[in-house]
Amino acid sequence: MNDADDPEDLPSLWSHEPHAHLMFRPGDRVADIDPDATPGFRGDKSDAPTLQEERNVRFAELQEMLYANSRAGDHRSVLLVLQGMDTAGKGGIVKHVVGGANPQGIDYKSFGKPTPEELSHHYLWRIRKALPAAGHIGVFDRSHYEDVLIVRVHNLVPRDVWEPRYDEINAFERELVDGGTAIVKVAMFVSLDEQKRRLASRLERPDKYWKYNPGDIDERQKWPQYQQAYQAMLDRTSTEHAPWHIIPCDKKWYSRLAVTELLIETLKRLNMSWPPPDFDVEAEKKRLESV
């Protein structure tokens, strides 16, 4: 058993390893996703605060182990890819899940509308620049998948330009995985009703105006087209080396717990231990005593 293993590590409130419930399977339909569901979780909202706190601690410990190993020459890293419509809760994952870890080892990057400079390059140019360093956890708040989502829905480039991107993205991710980056892809789904409530609350609260963008309503009206684009993304880029996970997001407490477990599972699969000392511990203790 290595240090990253802990027989009591699977919280009893989950009925199986969470990824087994959440992984996209060929044939899964976006139209059938219930954003209010809590797949695999046997508890309820009242269990969430304590469990989230416990699991954040576990996540932070594994993240520190990844970081520590990189100091000892391990080049591996993790990349969390968050995709979802506005209000799905990407920011909440960043704040309440990833935020529990040491910022020293987190490489966060959000991807908005490309700048003129970014547009003058290949769409993966800005993505490559933001990849996590060895021992780090990269977090993409939106990602290269925008280039087959909003770009497809709004015809920002012709079909013969976006169409080959699915295969190109698969090859790109293969390259990352072969280079030692474990990729956790999370597609976050919020229902139209819940999205409406969340947008309405942004309009009610001066402290939330900054999150509101009038364009969100335009995207909302294009939900059928987005549904189609999300379906194509899942069908064509959920690979063995980088599978998609479907996260129901109407219950924020559930989506946060679920993504935390996906990260913990991924880190555990790296089979890490604390790096051994590259000095003589006893000799150092004696030296320290004498000064």
Site residues for ligand AMP per CB under 6 A: 86, 111-114, 142, 146-147, 150-151, 156, 213
Interaction residues for Mg ion, span 190-219 (CB under 5 A): 213
Asked whether the beta carbons of 101 and 59 are under 8 A apart, the reply is yes
By a kind-dependent CB cut-off of 5 to 8 A, residue 172 interacts, out of ligand AMP, Mg ion, none, with: none
Say how far apart CA 271 and CA 66 lie, in whole Å: 10
Asked whether the beta carbons of 141 and 111 are under 8 A apart, the reply is yes
Q: Given the complex with Mg ion, which of 174 and 211 has the nearer CB atom?
A: 211
Q: Given the complex with ligand AMP, which of 220 and 236 has the nearer CB atom?
A: 220
Interaction residues for Mg ion, span 6-35 (CB under 5 A): none
Supply the minimum distance, in Å, between the C-beta of residue 227 and ligand AMP: 15
CA distances from 15 to 39, 78, 100, 246, 270 (A): 9, 25, 24, 17, 23
- In 3D space, the residue among 59, 42, 121, 122 whose CA is nearest the CA of residue 265 turns out to be 59
By a kind-dependent CB cut-off of 5 to 8 A, residue 194 interacts, out of Mg ion, ligand AMP, none, with: none
Phi, psi of 64 (to 5 degrees): -65, -35
Selected binder of Mg ion within 74, 86, 141, 194 (CB under 5 A) = 86
Supply the minimum distance, in Å, between the C-beta of residue 231 and ligand AMP: 17
Interaction residues for Mg ion, span 142-201 (CB under 5 A): none
Q: Tell me the residue number closest to Mg ion, measured at CB.
A: 86
By a kind-dependent CB cut-off of 5 to 8 A, residue 150 interacts, out of ligand AMP, Mg ion, none, with: ligand AMP
Q: Given the complex with ligand AMP, which of 67 and 226 has the nearer CB atom?
A: 226
Q: Given the complex with ligand AMP, which of 86 and 194 has the nearer CB atom?
A: 86
Span near Mg ion by CB under 5 A; candidates 51-59, 82-90, 190-198, 258-266: 82-90
Span near Mg ion by CB under 5 A; candidates 79-87, 114-122, 153-161, 272-280: 79-87
Q: Given the complex with ligand AMP, which of 74 and 146 has the nearer CB atom?
A: 146
Paired tokens of 162: 């976006």
Paired tokens of 129: 């620049």
Q: Given the complex with ligand AMP, which of 43 and 114 has the nearer CB atom?
A: 114
What is the C-alpha radius of gyration for the chain, rounded to an integer number of angstroms? 20
DSSP type of residue 30: G
Per-residue contact string for residues 91-130; x = within reach of Mg ion by CB under 5 A: ----------------------------------------
Supply the minimum distance, in Å, between the C-beta of residue 142 and ligand AMP: 5
Q: Given the complex with ligand AMP, which of 86 and 173 has the nearer CB atom?
A: 86
Positive or negative torsion for Cα 200, 203, 100, 134: positive
Phi, psi of 183 (to 5 degrees): -105, 130
Task: Estimate the crossing angle of helix 48-71 against helix 252-269, to 10 degrees.
Answer: 30
CA distances from 96 to 13, 41, 101, 242, 260 (A): 20, 19, 10, 24, 9
Are β-strands 244-248 and 137-141 bridged in parallel, bridged antiparallel, or unpaired?
unpaired
Q: Given the complex with ligand AMP, which of 147 and 250 has the nearer CB atom?
A: 147
User: Which spans in 147-251 are helix H?
Assistant: 150-153, 159-162, 165-178, 192-204, 215-221, 223-237
Contacts to Mg ion by CB under 5 A = 86, 213
